[in-house]
Structure 1
Amino acid sequence: MRATFEVDNGIGGAATGVGDPGLARLVAALEGSAREIDVTFARAGSQLGEGLSLFEGLKERLSTLSAELSGTEIADAGKSLSGLAGELRAINDGLRDETGVLQELTTHSKAASLALDRLLEHMRLITILARSARIEAVSVQAAGRDFGDFTSEIVALTTQAQHTIQSCARDHDHLSALLGSALSAQRDFEGRYGHALSGLADNLEQTLAEVAERQRRSVSLTSDAAAHSGKIAMAAGGAIIALQSGDSIRQRLEHVIKALRLLGSLDGTSGPGADFDAVERGAAGLVLRRLQAAQLDESALTLAQDADAIESALALLAGDTAGLLDLVRSLYQGDGGGKSERSQSGSFLADLESDLAQASDLLGKCDRARSGVDRVTSALATVLETCQQTVAALAGTVSSIVLIGMNAGLRAARIGTGGRSLVVIAQELKVAADQVATDANHLTPTFARMQEASAGLTRGGRLDAAHFAALDEAMRSSLSAMRQTGDRLGATLGQLTREGGGFSAVVADARLSFSNAGAMSDLIASGAVELARGAADQEMPSRADVAERVRGLVDAHIWPNYTMVGERTIHQAVIGLLLPAQSGAAAPVVVQSTDSLDDFLF
């Protein structure tokens, strides 16, 4: 509700002295408004100055955040972790490759086991035939021929070959057991963790992509922040200029109050206007009322305009600061607008730390699983070498057995019927030896294929224990760098949030300080209306000397108080209407301001 003042008309016999209640209330209200305007504008100016200091801290924090996120430390860690994602995929691919190698080795090993079993069977048959030949040799010796050397040599060769094959078979059985165990463990590990390795690689790449996206947005934030900072600086500058008008409004009210006190003293017996008659006092009251009504009306309008400008500037400050902080929070804390649940969490460093902890655990499991393959690799080299030597030696042994058997058979055939049994045994030895040669020939390519396949377990760059250790160390180092960067980001973001909150609170307090500016403007405007209403039906007297007397009073006691061009302009406009200058009369000189922002006369 607009406040109003009851101001009695002091023209036409209704004198308004110092004791006029309506005029006294108006003066008291204007004095209160002047003090409140002075306090309000000073408090808001102080708060805005404090806010601008806080805003400088905000800009510094933003620069720190951007530098942290785009710094070389986090970039190097990102490269290392990107390499880790590739390593995890390589481990997963290597698992499949090693499983294939183990499967191929197992297949060849089974074929070799069957061939070795047949060899042992053939060697047992040869051993039986050699013993039979020894028995037959005794009979032939009784007939005058000595075949003892023949049988002893075959038995010795057969026994030696059998022992060699048995040793090779035992080693191969051990290898087969290792292969079976390693293949089972490898399949179990691949089934349990193969998908985890590829999934973890996906997660790491996704998190690193989120880091890269935030780095890109950090660069964009710098330009966005500059735009916001520019708007905030302009708003603050506008608010500061508007706040400077508080002093001019206060001075205007003080000048009006002084003029109203002059109005209230016109009926006195001393002081200005004490020698005025009733007509002159009425005319002076009319001029003072209309003149101060115009000054109050302009003051109310100026206050309303300045209050609106300041409120708009403070609203812009509050809105742009909130927008700037929202940009920062969305960048460093997450805005829920990501493409996945992980990016929506906003805590990309926490996600990364969880991923790396899982990676470390998986690398440990991979290292332990690798030990079984290493045992196969170590045994495979020895067994293949032994078995290949056995096969190579066996070929010579078989050739010797066949050659000795053929010679013995030829010698026994010359004996006739008595050597027939030895001839038969010699032929059976040759058949058995041929079968040994056939199976030995089958073993040779089998062992060669195993040797070739085993290269997949011993190739250069294979993920061995040293490689796993290096990966784990690089991962831990990167995690430490990320964690330290995250701690600094968190601390800086916390400080920025506190400073931003402080700045917003200061702006809110300043806006609250101006919440009654509109009411003060209405109060001043109401006083102007009441003053104008008191003189609305009055006219200046027609006496020629009255205008000159009133002009002298105004020029002596009102005009010198003005300190602003606006006051003088309004004064001259009102006086020009009520007290037109007579020919030859000098009018007060008005100094025009050349600067639209300068409302003061210096």
Structure 2
Amino acid sequence: MTRTGHQPTQLEFSEVGEGAHLHLAKALEQARGQIEAAFIRIGDKLANSVGVLNDLAATFEELPKDFESREMNAANAQLQALVTQSAQIAASIRQERPLMSALRDATTATHGTIAKLERSIMTIRIVALNARITAASTSIAGEQMALYSEEMPMLSSEASETVSAFAKLFSVMASSVEQAYEERRRVDVLQETRLSDLSTELGSYLCQIDRKRQDAAQNSSATMESSRNIASRISSVVLTLQVGDNIRQRIEHVEEGLRYASDIAAGKGCAAMDISGPLYFEQAELVSVTLVRMQEQQLRDVQASLEIEIGTARQAIATLARDVSQAMERAKELYSGTADGGSMVAFLSSRMRSAASLLDECAKDQARTEQLSNVIKKTVADLLAYVDQVKDIEVRMKLLSHNAKIKSNSMGARGKALNAISDQVRELTENVVVVAEAVIEKLQLAAQCSESLVASGDAFEHGYMRDLGKDALSAVGLLEAVDARLGRAASKMKSEGPKVSALLDAAALELSSQYQLAQTIGDVAARLNAALDNQCSLQGGPYHNACSDARWNDVCDAAFASLRQHYNMQSERQIHDIVLGLPTPSSESEDASLEFFDPQGEGDSDNFVDDVFF
């Protein structure tokens, strides 16, 4: 077998303290158990933090779907429609105001004309009464005077009753118009102002809500990705900490090596190294000491690896903890409410409810306007029927006055007074017709104003306005539901985020405690080195390659070759080869060769191993 390294040196061996090696193996076993338990605890904490982060990621993953759903877009469109229609209804109210004034003016004007009609009919009744009295004062037989004493009073009474019913019906309509006018005058300006203000305000808030919706969707995606990214990084740390299992295996191999050394030094065989029985004393001592030296070097490499991995893991966990803390701060900013501390959607909901209530009021006003229009339309139709009756009476009155004229002329001087009465009745009747036609004209004007008033509100039929308000409230309900889910997600982030930070901090603290275990491993290595120095007398310079001794033979080669096959890691094999002076893949490069750890300068320390075993 070809070996590299220093020239062979002669060693003198004395009895190696195999009992101390077993004690040190026991110390390593205890340290290994602590490392195993610690890395399990650390892994559990990190795994729990990954679970929390994945749960948070799943929560925020659903939010963008809510924000960008078809229902949400429809809700936004409904709210926008309410804003748009509110502005249009406000404009409609402004347009209706002069129409309502025109209706009132037409009704008022009609009222004066009807009063004139009533006075004309009253005059006819008085004239008819005079005709009756005059007829009674004549000496003419009663049947001949029936025209004056019966027909004329009866016809005038009929005209009076017709006009009285006409005036009464019109009075009801005029009262309704006046009441509607006063009510609209009282609320129109207020409704118009409120609708205009709400439209402007809600339009502004809808824009903010839409921006917030887009931002929240992006922020939720970013939060989800950030949570999963951090979870992935933590998982990477967990995988990195699998070195803890490597460390455990390497320590376990060192424990076995120390037990092998103790057995061989005690003259026993070692099946693991294909040593079936006792070796010659010098070979046993040589193999045992070399084996101990090999374990000492393995431990020093284990200590260095453990400290490096602890430091790397601590730094990674500290970075993760900082990132989690920053993510929590961003969450507070991203999912905070409006400047006054309330939710923008909650405020919008309140204003939308006000708008819906106002639209309901407008719908009621529109319904009352339509009802008034129907009343006016029906009243005008009824009034026109009365006017037709008045015209019929006028025709009959004309015929009556004509017959009376003939009758009075036939009486000579006695009929002179009756003749004057007949002329007066004819004139009054003609005047009634003129007044009645004026009433019809003004009623038709009032009807036209009423129809125009209703037509101006046809685009905003009261049922539609109520539906618009209901749709808006339904849309707000959807916004509130999504906002509530966003709030719960943000609250979950605020409550669960610190748990992740706490778990990471606890894992970092647990890792820090592993430095003491690394020191314990280093102390065992130092004790092994001290034991070798105390029991081996070196000649020709410092000890390097025990196997370069002349007494090293094929049995020793076979034993260590068998041992090498038990290793799982390349680092173990490399140290094994260097201790034996065998070629390594990097032996051609001098600066890449692995040197022994220099035990000089470490000195004794009052540590755990000293207190227990020495």
Same fold flag (TM > 0.5): yes
Q: Which residue is equivalent to 1:117?
A: 115
Q: Which residue is equivalent to 1:335?
A: 336
Distance 1:523 1:149, change over 3 A: same
CA root-mean-square deviation: 5.8
State the secondary structure of the residue aligned to 2:549: helix
Q: Which residue is equivalent to 1:584?
A: none
The residue type equivalent to 2:119 in the other structure is E
Q: Which residue is equivalent to 1:564?
A: 569
* 2:382 pairs with 1:386: yes
Distance 1:311 1:417, change over 3 A: farther
Residue 119 (structure 1) shift: 1.5
Q: Which residue is equivalent to 2:311?
A: 308
Alpha-carbon distance in structure 1 between the residues aligned to 2:127 and 2:236:
119
Q: Confirm or deny: 8 A CA contact 2:86 2:195 kept in the other structure.
A: yes
The residue type equivalent to 1:383 in the other structure is T
Distance 1:345 1:105, change over 3 A: same
Q: Confirm or deny: 8 A CA contact 2:83 2:202 kept in the other structure.
A: yes
Alpha-carbon distance in structure 2 between the residues aligned to 1:101 and 1:550:
127
Alpha-carbon distance in structure 1 between the residues aligned to 2:246 and 2:328:
36
What is the TM-score normalised by the length of structure 1? 0.67
The correspondence of residues 367-382 of structure 1 with structure 2, limited to 5 A, is 372-373=368-369, 376-382=372-378
What is the TM-score normalised by the length of structure 2? 0.66
Task: Between 503-512 and 358-367, report the one with greater CA deviation.
Answer: 358-367
Q: Confirm or deny: 8 A CA contact 1:141 1:147 kept in the other structure.
A: no
Q: Per-residue displacement from partner, 1:407-439 (whole Å, max 9, x unpaired)? A: 977997999988776676566556655654554
* 2:230 pairs with 1:232: yes
Residue 176 (structure 1) shift: 2.1
Distance 1:523 1:96, change over 3 A: farther
User: What is the aligned counterpart of 1:541 among 526, 539, 548?
Assistant: 539
* 2:448 pairs with 1:452: yes
The residue type equivalent to 1:128 in the other structure is I
Alpha-carbon distance in structure 1 between the residues aligned to 2:473 and 2:120:
60
Q: Per-residue displacement from partner, 1:105-155 (whole Å, max 9, x unpaired)? A: 32222111111111212222233344445556678997xxx8874786655
Q: Confirm or deny: 8 A CA contact 1:268 1:274 kept in the other structure.
A: no
Distance 1:547 1:370, change over 3 A: closer
Alpha-carbon distance in structure 1 between the residues aligned to 2:486 and 2:227:
21
Task: Between 364-373 and 442-451, report the one with greater CA deviation.
Answer: 364-373
Q: Confirm or deny: 8 A CA contact 2:42 2:510 kept in the other structure.
A: yes
Alpha-carbon distance in structure 1 between the residues aligned to 2:478 and 2:412:
95
* 2:439 pairs with 1:443: yes
Q: Which residue is equivalent to 1:581?
A: none
Identity %: 21
Q: Per-residue displacement from partner, 1:245-284 (whole Å, max 9, x unpaired)? A: 1122334445566777899999999999964999x99xx7
State the secondary structure of the residue aligned to 1:513: helix
The residue type equivalent to 1:449 in the other structure is L
* 2:520 pairs with 1:515: no
Q: Confirm or deny: 8 A CA contact 2:135 2:418 kept in the other structure.
A: yes
Q: Per-residue displacement from partner, 1:547-589 (whole Å, max 9, x unpaired)? A: 722994997669737543224445656776xxxxxxxxxx356
Q: Confirm or deny: 8 A CA contact 2:357 2:469 kept in the other structure.
A: no
Alpha-carbon distance in structure 2 between the residues aligned to 1:62 and 1:371:
47
Residue 79 (structure 1) shift: 5.0
Distance 1:507 1:277, change over 3 A: closer
Distance 1:45 1:120, change over 3 A: same
Distance 1:487 1:231, change over 3 A: closer
Q: Which residue is equivalent to 2:176?
A: 178
Residue 170 (structure 1) shift: 0.5
Unaligned runs of 5+ in 1: 1-10, 577-586, 593-602
Distance 1:483 1:410, change over 3 A: same
Q: Per-residue displacement from partner, 1:354-391 (whole Å, max 9, x unpaired)? A: 56766776677667666754653443223211223334
User: What is the aligned counterpart of 1:43 among 41, 62, 80?
Assistant: 41
Alpha-carbon distance in structure 2 between the residues aligned to 1:288 and 1:550:
19
Q: Confirm or deny: 8 A CA contact 2:61 2:224 kept in the other structure.
A: no
Distance 1:175 1:14, change over 3 A: farther
Distance 1:420 1:589, change over 3 A: same
Q: Which residue is equivalent to 2:603?
A: none
Q: Per-residue displacement from partner, 1:291-312 (whole Å, max 9, x unpaired)? A: 7776555434422332233334
The correspondence of residues 579-594 of structure 1 with structure 2, limited to 5 A, is 587=582
Alpha-carbon distance in structure 2 between the residues aligned to 1:546 and 1:370:
110
State the secondary structure of the residue aligned to 1:168: helix
Unaligned runs of 5+ in 2: 1-10, 269-277, 588-614
Q: Confirm or deny: 8 A CA contact 1:17 1:266 kept in the other structure.
A: no
Q: Confirm or deny: 8 A CA contact 1:296 1:524 kept in the other structure.
A: yes
Task: Between 315-324 and 60-69, report the one with greater CA deviation.
Answer: 315-324
Q: Which residue is equivalent to 1:597?
A: none
The residue type equivalent to 2:511 in the other structure is F
The count of residues paired between Structure 1 and Structure 2 equals 555
Residue 39 (structure 1) shift: 2.0
Task: Between 292-301 and 162-171, report the one with greater CA deviation.
Answer: 292-301
Residue 513 (structure 1) shift: 2.7
Alpha-carbon distance in structure 2 between the residues aligned to 1:231 and 1:266:
53
State the secondary structure of the residue aligned to 1:305: helix
Residue 241 (structure 1) shift: 3.1
Alpha-carbon distance in structure 2 between the residues aligned to 1:272 and 1:323:
65
The residue type equivalent to 2:372 in the other structure is V
Residue 223 (structure 1) shift: 4.2
State the secondary structure of the residue aligned to 1:515: helix
Residue 169 (structure 1) shift: 0.8
Residue 40 (structure 1) shift: 1.9
